[in-house]
């Protein structure tokens, strides 16, 4: 089984970290390919960055038609619907994967993300996935995404402090880490706080393995139908439907 992990931002060090987390979660016989675009934003912090990250992400998916499943490694589930139109393979967002796994092991789960500007998108997704009532709250640690890549930064401590507040003030019973760049912190933070701390990358890998194992693919009968062939103009011409 081949699982493609696409980090929609262009930061190679984060892509390597995400790939390592995916490989730790993968079952024997599962091959992980972690990739990111070579154009677009270096981090995704809000709606504006998200828009410019999607073309490169779709381009990476189109380069790997052999993938049995695709994981979108951005907690906002950036471009998830578009990605499902780009391939018949199942596509999992790490946000939706983390939410669903947390809902199976806790009555109420909290989310700790990076910056406050990401909270509206996460809350919107919780409503969309039908899990808003299961979430005790979405909190921001006010850690810029790229600070997670700086050795010796205090990012982990700031995230830990926000987890402590989610437990004490929101009565969270589990925590979902709200950024793919936090993938290497889950086990350490779970030990520190004595409750489940979920990394969406690992959750998405296990969901992808399950869908592939059951032979399930994305339904093309509706909104996820493959796009109709047409010529796109200008710099987007390479993304024209039907060109590969």
In whole angstroms, give the CA distance from residue 176 to residue 19: 19
Do 218 and 89 touch, CB atoms closer than 8 A?
A: yes
Do 204 and 94 touch, CB atoms closer than 8 A?
A: yes
In the structure encoding, which two tokens stand for residue 43, read together? 């981090």
Per-residue pLDDT of the chain (244 residues; tens, 9 = 90+): 999 999 999 999 999 999 999 999 999 999 999 999 999 999 999 999 999 999 999 999 999 999 999 999 999 999 999 999 999 999 999 999 999 999 999 999 999 999 999 999 999 999 999 999 999 999 999 999 989 988 888 999 999 999 999 999 999 999 999 999 999 999 999 999 999 999 999 999 999 999 999 999 999 999 999 999 999 999 899 899 976 6
Do 138 and 119 touch, CB atoms closer than 8 A?
A: yes
CA 162-168-170 angle, to 5 degrees, is 85
Rounded to two decimals, the pTM is: 0.94
Positions of E strands within the chain: 2-6, 31-35, 69-72, 91-93, 109-113, 135-140, 174-178, 197-199
pLDDT of residue 152: 81
Domain with CATH 3.40.50.12500 in the chain: 2-94+203-239, 95-200
On the 0-12 / 13-18 / 19+ scale of CB atoms within 10 A, 107 is exposed
CATH 3.40.50.12500 fits 2-94+203-239, yes or no: yes
In the structure encoding, which two tokens stand for residue 96, read together? 């939706």
In the CATH scheme, what is the code of domain 95-200? 3.40.50.12500
């Amino acid at each position: 089984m081949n699982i493609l992990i696409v980090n929609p931002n262009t930061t190679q060090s984060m892509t390597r970290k995400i790939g390592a987390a995916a490989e730790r979660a993968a079952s024997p016989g599962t091959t992980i390919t972690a990739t990111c675009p070579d154009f677009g934003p270096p981090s995704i912090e809000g709606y504006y960055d998200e828009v410019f990250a999607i073309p490169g992400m779709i381009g990476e998916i189109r380069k790997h038609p052999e993938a049995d499943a695709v994981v979108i490694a951005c907690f906002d589930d950036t471009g998830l619907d578009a990605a499902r139109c780009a391939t018949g393979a199942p596509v999992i967002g790490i946000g939706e994967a983390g939410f669903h796994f947390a809902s199976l092991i806790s009555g109420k789960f909290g989310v700790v993300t990076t910056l406050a500007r990401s909270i509206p998108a996460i809350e919107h997704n919780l409503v969309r996935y039908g899990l808003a009532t299961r979430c005790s709250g979405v909190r921001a640690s006010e850690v810029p995404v790229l600070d997670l890549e700086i050795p010796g930064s205090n990012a982990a401590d700031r995230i830990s402090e926000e987890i402590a507040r989610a437990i004490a003030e929101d009565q969270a019973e589990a925590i979902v880490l709200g950024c793919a760049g936090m993938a290497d912190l889950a086990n350490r933070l779970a030990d520190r706080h004595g409750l489940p701390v979920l990394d969406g990358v690992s959750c998405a890998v296990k969901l992808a393995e399950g869908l592939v194992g059951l032979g399930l693919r994305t339904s093309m009968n509706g909104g996820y139908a493959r796009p109709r062939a047409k010529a796109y103009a200008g710099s987007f011409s390479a993304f024209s439907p039907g060109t590969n």
